[in-house]
Structure 1
Amino acid sequence: MDVLGRFASPHDAFAASVQRSPDAPFLIAPASAGLAYAPGGFSLAYGEVGAQVERAKAAYSQAGYGRGARVALLLDNRPEFFVHWLALNALGVSIVPINPDLRPEELAFQLSLADVDLALGVGERIAPLAKGAEFTRFRPVELGAAIPDCRKTVTAQAGDRDAECALLFTSGSTGKPKGCILSNRYFLQVAQWYHGQGGIAAVEEGDINLTPLPMFHMNALGCSAVGMMATGGAVVPLDRFHASRWWASVADSGATIIHCLGVIPAILLQLPPSPDDRRHKVRFAFAPGVDVRHRAAFEERFGIRIVDAWAMTETGGAAATTTAEVPAGFESRCIGKPAASMDYRIVDEQGGEVGKGQAGELLVRARGDDPRAGFFSGYLDDEAATEEAWQGGWFHTGDFIRQGDDGLLYFFDRKKSIVRRSGENIAVLEVESVLQRQEAVRATAVTPVPDELRGEEVFAFIVADTAEKAALAERILRESAALIAYHKLPGYVAFVPDLPLSATKKLARGEIKQLAAKAVEDGTALDLRPLKASLRKH
């Protein structure tokens, strides 16, 4: 489907489906999903949501919102998120979807960098902002309240393909998340790639796409949301993944496509057999990063083929890969074929291309006259980082990839200092900076370690003078939980007298990673994962 050729924005794609099929379902959630805010579930048609979008658009328009303004949305995956996003998108306003797990310090950083004109949310999400003096300048407003006048000078009350659609935050190798500026074209390009995967991932008119992934990720916002709007399909936006309710939600919603991350199939395989295992209409699961052992068992038990893929927030659909056309049983860490819209190189540290079978950093760009077409528009207020990422006219992914003899691409490792846990990119420097602030910590080094369920887990070496290691580790974790989201907290901690350093007195990251894996394997590290999981609720 020619998404780019037909539409100018996500709202444009949505409006076309409203016009074509007003009675077709757009947002669905069955009662079995157990949503606290919709215990009976819901089924909202395109025409019904379209009318709500028009009312919200009129309110924002009257208040003076338009191109150049940003609005933070603390609405999770509720239907109201889509209403306000599409209303704002129609006026050229950019949204900043907020992760509900952020702690106040993290939230203040994101809202400040984004320079939002308004923060809109539901009671339990907006209440902390309304009470905090540091958040008053972001004008927190509860859903349903009157929209205050826009304080920015806007250039127009309309968008086009180049207009900023959303600002999403991503953790790279630096200590603080970067704000990725994403245009309307970016999201249309994601949908274009999603529809063009072919093979077992061919998207059909009337598909129902179920996702537990949050709308502050490009996967949910671009593939599931815009991907379905482009063809008049429906979205089942769950609040998050709940294993005990998963298969009932899938079957009762009529989902034909499910999205998840590598950790989810692994958890589902631990459930006892149930009639719900096959009570579904799903054709494929879009699930990047599934362990090859879990993939085979999942496909056999549940009768659903898994599609693996690779992309980054920065690359979107302009440079992505998929296994949709790769025969079942592909090898471990295979990320498939590159999109036809991208050029790529695999290079060594000197920038020279490596031979087939050898691992090197993946460099990508859009094929054609504009190498940045469809990519992110840049890092907000960080032109230097943007240009560094595009050094030499190629986007440097920081991922080490190899090309197999079969011509397919295989993920090897990461150049950047990040932990990839359950699909979340966690900057080790951000975690280190928080741990370093805790009393008694003299030095620390954070690294990823393999995790059977989540792909990777956060591991921290800590230099501290203490005889009560377990008690100190617990105190450090609890105090850090007030500063960073729970998923960034260390799942393992090991106390050491000093940290491995390179000849230039920098942390020897490679050696640290190896030592951490050994400490987990031989049981000398403190396993704090149960405590970490309990801190998610606080």
Structure 2
Amino acid sequence: MNSMFDQHLPRNEANFAPITPLSFIQRAAEVYPARLAMVHGPLRRTWAEAYERCRRLASALTRHGIGRGDTVAVMLPNTPTMVEAHFGVPMAGAVLNSLNTRLDAQTLAFMLDHGEARVLIVDPEFTGVVGKALALRQRKDPILVVDAEDEVWTGRQDRIGSTTYEALLAGGDSTFDWQLPGDEWDAIALNYTSGTTGNPKGVVYHHRGAAINAVSNILEWDMPKHPVYLWALPMFHCNGWCFPWTVAARAGVNVCLRKVEAQAMADAIREHGVTHYCGAPIVHSLLVNAPEELKRGLPRGVKAMVAGAAPPASMIEGMERLGFDLTHVYGLTEVYGPATACAKHEDWDRLEIDERARLNARQGVRYHLQRDAQVLDPQTMKPVPWDGETMGEIMFRGNITMKGYLKNEKATQEAFAGGWFRTGDLAVQHPDGYIKIKDRSKDIIISGGENISSIEVEDVLYRHPDVLAAAVVAKPDPKWGETPCAFIELKAGAQVTPEEIVAHCKKYLAGFKVPRAVEFGELPKTSTGKLQKFELRKRAGSTTAIEV
């Protein structure tokens, strides 16, 4: 029954518009047309120029028959082309699928097929693996392959496309009248998980969630107008945690980096006056552990965001010596990247470093515009006591949550069972409401910010003819946060070296998934024959496993 406040008060174009991050770049170009938007080597582009190129891209895609619901895949590092794709692709009504540049050809082929990509924009650095992936596709429908140019790239310039990116843009209209999405629930991006069991799952984002998380980033960081943002976080990872849209909303500067190295980061921070950057623990450690002469002259007050593993005391201390302000966030692909933050309090500054590290290591509280984040009992769906001891599962609900998994109704229903998104991460909630992860129910290893499935690595180990049983767990690593550690029980009489095991794994796995430590021996099992991974985790923490 309608109330009096609904009668004769219809929703119309004058009082309602779909929320979308595409409006952010339009405003930046209108209000700050001459302000710097892109920095990449010698390249400089203003917001007016960036917006014009995004409109050209949208127009060109439309002229090639790309429209609402079509998938445009990109295999790109952190270049201006990647930033433009985050606007130009959805301006055409299409869905952006940013492919992980670290993946193998077989996995990429699956993603191209599953996402039904109609266009693929590829950087020259990745033409080799992409060429193999295209050959492995099962679908026979054609893909328009576009070669992206980049003068900063000094390697081979092999081309596999039928056109180049600049030629594609030249065929587009810089005044293209792109339209708002018909519904803010329309898909804007497709991101694949690391595939904990079987094939990766395709996570679908909507315009509303992308815009809302982009604004939440601003609120969480108190981000002022015109920040200078360093792209140390891969934009293929949860769409760069929505920061391509965040930077546009603040009319900031995108400082692009093809490769994340300590020297390149330090030089960029000094030269361009970087104010903000995000990254996995390894990215921050690059600066913390760099030679003193490399760090000389770094500006103080740079805001850094870390996720992937809790920052240890040594990292917090190292960042403080640099004068950097570190914020710890937590999230998953399914919640657009960061969806909780360990919000700091002034009285924490008076505590000893170890106590501050303990407080900052928690996953924290919900992002500003996320409706809720709690630790619930997965059976009863009731909140666990806030005692810092009772375990439950981290669950989210609100606008910063995926639409669901592409073509996987069963997995979607399971993920949303009970009216919450179930992360699978086991945690406690402290008396102040801050969440702290205790374990990962799916045995995920987070290495350098990348998720690695222990099951996937174990499957490869079992392919070795001399392996009787195998188990893979996370081994603490000062550089990567965690790395895979393999415990292997060999068949009777078998003689295998750790180096041979690693060489075997390299045939089937991306480099970051290959075990960094191998130990042979009988695996601990329960009376029913189930492997006791908790025992192996203890051993991995102080293991004598041979580092390879």
**Superposition TM-score, scaled by structure 2 size:** 0.82
Partner residue of 1:167 out of 186, 190, 199: 190
Match of 2:364 in 1: 336
CA contact (8 A) 2:329 2:339 kept: no
Q: Secondary structure in 1 aligned to 2:375?
A: strand
Matched, 1:462 2:488: yes
Match of 1:66 in 2: 67
Q: 1:344 to 1:62 in 2, by over 3 A?
A: closer
Q: Quote how far apart the aligned CAs of 1:137 are.
A: 4.8
Segment of structure 1 superposing worse, 313-322 or 386-395: 313-322
Q: Secondary structure in 2 aligned to 1:264?
A: helix
Which amino acid in structure 2 is aligned with residue 398 of structure 1? G
Matched, 1:442 2:468: yes
Q: Quote how far apart the aligned CAs of 1:502 are.
A: 3.5
Q: Quote how far apart the aligned CAs of 1:303 are.
A: 0.8
Matched, 1:511 2:511: no
Match of 1:34 in 2: none
Partner residue of 2:32 out of 2, 21, 24: 21
Q: Quote how far apart the aligned CAs of 1:290 are.
A: 4.8
Q: Secondary structure in 2 aligned to 1:60?
A: helix
Match of 1:152 in 2: none
Match of 1:186 in 2: 209
Match of 1:322 in 2: 342
Q: Quote how far apart the aligned CAs of 1:252 are.
A: 0.8
CA contact (8 A) 1:251 1:279 kept: yes
Q: For residues 468 and 267 of structure 2, what CA distance do their matches in structure 1 show?
A: 50
Q: 1:68 to 1:427 in 2, by over 3 A?
A: same
Deviation string, structure 1 residues 436-461 (Cα, Å, up to 9, x no partner): 22333333211112222222110112
Q: Secondary structure in 2 aligned to 1:392?
A: coil
Deviation string, structure 1 residues 28-58 (Cα, Å, up to 9, x no partner): 23xxxxxxxxxx4322111112222222222
Match of 2:376 in 1: 347
Q: Secondary structure in 2 aligned to 1:196?
A: helix
Q: For residues 447 and 218 of structure 1, what CA distance do their matches in structure 2 show?
A: 25
Segment of structure 1 superposing worse, 478-487 or 443-452: 478-487
Q: Quote how far apart the aligned CAs of 1:196 are.
A: 1.8
Q: 1:213 to 1:321 in 2, by over 3 A?
A: same
Q: Quote how far apart the aligned CAs of 1:425 are.
A: 1.1
For structure 1, which runs of at least 5 residues remain unmatched after alignment?
Answer: 30-39, 150-155, 367-371, 529-538
Q: Quote how far apart the aligned CAs of 1:257 are.
A: 1.0
Q: How does 1:28-427 map to 2 (within 5 A)?
A: 28-29=39-40, 40-130=41-131, 133-135=135-137, 137=141, 139=143, 140-143=145-148, 144-145=163-164, 159=181, 160-171=183-194, 173-197=196-220, 201-218=221-238, 220-222=240-242, 224-274=243-293, 276-280=295-299, 282-288=301-307, 289-316=309-336, 319-325=339-345, 327-328=348-349, 330-332=356-358, 333-340=361-368, 341-348=370-377, 350-351=379-380, 352-355=382-385, 356-366=387-397, 372-427=398-453
Q: Quote how far apart the aligned CAs of 1:317 are.
A: 7.0
| Greater relative contact order (CA < 8 Å, ≥ 6 in sequence) | 1
Q: 1:447 to 1:128 in 2, by over 3 A?
A: closer
**Percent of residue pairs identical:** 26
Which amino acid in structure 1 is aligned with residue 36 of structure 2? P
Q: For residues 157 and 406 of structure 1, what CA distance do their matches in structure 2 show?
A: 45
CA contact (8 A) 2:86 2:244 kept: no
How many residue pairs get aligned? The number is 492
Q: 1:260 to 1:219 in 2, by over 3 A?
A: farther
Q: Quote how far apart the aligned CAs of 1:477 are.
A: 2.2
Q: For residues 10 and 306 of structure 1, what CA distance do their matches in structure 2 show?
A: 26
Segment of structure 1 superposing worse, 101-110 or 323-332: 323-332
Q: Secondary structure in 2 aligned to 1:54?
A: helix
The Cα RMSD (Å) is: 2.8
Segment of structure 1 superposing worse, 173-182 or 405-414: 405-414
Which amino acid in structure 1 is aligned with residue 391 of structure 2? G
Match of 1:8 in 2: 19
CA contact (8 A) 2:55 2:91 kept: no
Deviation string, structure 1 residues 78-112 (Cα, Å, up to 9, x no partner): 11122233211101111111122211112112222
CA contact (8 A) 2:70 2:95 kept: yes
Q: 1:271 to 1:319 in 2, by over 3 A?
A: closer
Q: 1:283 to 1:323 in 2, by over 3 A?
A: same
Deviation string, structure 1 residues 122-167 (Cα, Å, up to 9, x no partner): 2332344346532475623323437699xxxxxx976342121111
Q: Quote how far apart the aligned CAs of 1:230 are.
A: 0.9
Which amino acid in structure 1 is aligned with residue 506 of structure 2? A
Q: 1:54 to 1:349 in 2, by over 3 A?
A: closer
Deviation string, structure 1 residues 417-470 (Cα, Å, up to 9, x no partner): 210111111111111122222333333211112222222110112233466432
CA contact (8 A) 1:361 1:397 kept: no
Q: 1:219 to 1:324 in 2, by over 3 A?
A: farther
**Superposition TM-score, scaled by structure 1 size:** 0.84
For structure 2, which runs of at least 5 residues remain unmatched after alignment?
Answer: 1-15, 149-162, 172-177
Which amino acid in structure 2 is aligned with residue 303 of structure 1? G
Q: Quote how far apart the aligned CAs of 1:476 are.
A: 3.1
CA contact (8 A) 2:241 2:336 kept: no
Which amino acid in structure 1 is aligned with residue 434 of structure 2? L
Q: Quote how far apart the aligned CAs of 1:281 are.
A: 5.6
Q: For residues 357 and 410 of structure 2, what CA distance do their matches in structure 1 show?
A: 38
Deviation string, structure 1 residues 287-341 (Cα, Å, up to 9, x no partner): 2335332233223311111111112211237942332556445342223333353
Where has structure 1 moved over 6 Å in runs of 4 or more? 146-149
CA contact (8 A) 1:261 1:290 kept: no
Q: 1:41 to 1:469 in 2, by over 3 A?
A: farther
Match of 2:501 in 1: 476
Q: 1:123 to 1:263 in 2, by over 3 A?
A: closer
Q: For residues 367 and 84 of structure 2, what CA distance do their matches in structure 1 show?
A: 31
CA contact (8 A) 1:78 1:237 kept: yes
Q: 1:170 to 1:408 in 2, by over 3 A?
A: same
Q: For residues 459 and 58 of structure 1, what CA distance do their matches in structure 2 show?
A: 49
Q: 1:478 to 1:59 in 2, by over 3 A?
A: same
CA contact (8 A) 2:59 2:92 kept: no
Segment of structure 1 superposing worse, 118-127 or 442-451: 118-127
Q: 1:476 to 1:138 in 2, by over 3 A?
A: farther
CA contact (8 A) 1:118 1:141 kept: yes
